Amino acid sequence: MFQSMLSHRGDSGCQGAFYTYDAFIESASKFAGFGTTGDDQTRRRELAAFFGQTSHETTGGWATAPGGPFAWGYCRVKEQNPTDPPYYGRGPIQLTHEYNYRLAGQALNLNLVGNPDLVSSDPVVAFKTAIWFWMTPQSPKPSCHAVMTGGWTPSADDRAAGRLPGYGVTTNIINGGEECGKGQSTDKAKDRVGYYKRYCDMLGVGYGDNMACKDQKPYGG
């Protein structure tokens, strides 16, 4: 299933052969509850959401790509146009900015500030940074894991902002300032949903409610 979901990651022009199934499993085993919380449908939906978001972050797809635009997740290891060197996007979640490298490094007991290239040279570290981000709340944001597994209850402020349980809130957590609350779905947000729906279909699970974030206020917005 991993191979069929990410079948183009090692194609010419992609660097994603770096992302191995064994590295994913080794990394996932270090995070209690990841992909193992709730009933079978909840677990499948969380994995579809995780791979949906990280596939968007690493996409090599385009509108007329072979297999469709959502068959090209995990093509990229490093950000194509580095935004904050040396702390530019690396790995499945495209970890960016010194503060995220510092927080992830502290959590994983690794010196990622001193050696950010660990995230793009060791596939286990790469997956660990992505799963760490997924599992870790950063107030006032809940964790993506809690959102997708029923562990998050929206506050009154969340409800007023349209932030209700579902995949859309994970987009808001990751990049809400650019992609959410605009009244219509941005191309990036549509891409995230496209990947998610493809993986839900492959894993045989429903999409759940509130997939889009177009009517959600961003956190801090």
Q: Please name the residue ranges forming H helices in 8-143.
A: 21-28, 40-57, 98-108, 118-121, 123-135
Q: Any catalytic annotation for residue 57?
A: yes
Q: What residue segments make up the domains of the chain, in order of their start? A: 1-203
For residue 189, the model assigns a pLDDT of 98
CB under 8 Å to 73, separation ≥6 — which residues? 5, 6, 9, 51, 54, 55, 56, 58, 59, 61, 195
Take residue 58 and report the two structure tokens written for it: 């690493």
For residue 221, the model assigns a pLDDT of 72
For residue 132, the model assigns a pLDDT of 98
> What is the distance of C-alpha 17 from the center of its chain?
18
| Tens-place pLDDT, residues 130-140 | 999 999 999 99
CATH of region 1-203: 1.10.530.10
CB under 8 Å to 34, separation ≥6 — which residues? 28, 46, 50, 131, 134, 135, 145
Q: Which amino acid is present at 109?
A: N
* Residue pLDDT tens, the chain, 221 long: 999 999 999 999 999 999 999 999 999 999 999 999 999 999 999 999 999 999 999 999 999 999 999 999 999 999 999 999 999 999 999 999 999 999 999 999 999 999 999 999 999 999 999 999 999 999 999 999 999 999 999 999 999 999 999 999 999 999 999 999 999 999 999 999 999 999 999 999 999 999 999 999 999 87
Respond yes or no on whether the N-terminal peptide bond of residue 165 is cis (omega within 30° of 0): no
Q: Which amino acid is present at 209?
A: D
User: Residue 95 phi/psi, 5° resolution?
Assistant: -55, 125
- What DSSP state is assigned to residue 138? B
Catalytic residue among 57, 98, 178, 179: 57
